[in-house]
Amino acid sequence: MNYLLYVTGAASAALTPLNLLTFDAIRPGETMTVVLSRTAETFVTVRACSASGTRTVYRDRWDDELALHLHLAAAADRIIVHPATLNFLGRLSSGITDTPMMLALQCTDAPVYLCPAIPPGAENSAAFGAARSFVAAHPQYHLVDTLPAYSAALRTEAGRAPVSFAEVLELCTGFERAPR
Q: Is the pLDDT of residue 180 over 60?
A: no
pLDDT of residue 152: 79
Q: Is the pLDDT of residue 142 over 80?
A: yes
Q: Read off the pLDDT of residues 31-90 as tens digits, 9 standing for 90 and up.
A: 999 999 999 999 999 999 998 777 999 999 998 667 888 888 888 999 999 999 999 999
Domain assignment of residue 60, yes or no: yes
Domain assignment of residue 179, yes or no: no
**Total number of domains constituting the chain:** 1
Three-class secondary structure of residue 70 per DSSP: helix
Residues contacting 78, CB < 8 A, separation 6+: 1, 2, 3, 4, 110, 111, 113, 172, 175
| Alpha-carbon distance values, 86 to 62, 91, 116, 122, 123 (Å) | 22, 9, 7, 8, 9
CATH number of the domain where residue 118 is located? 3.40.50.1950
Handedness of CA 142, 147, 148, 154 (dihedral sign): negative
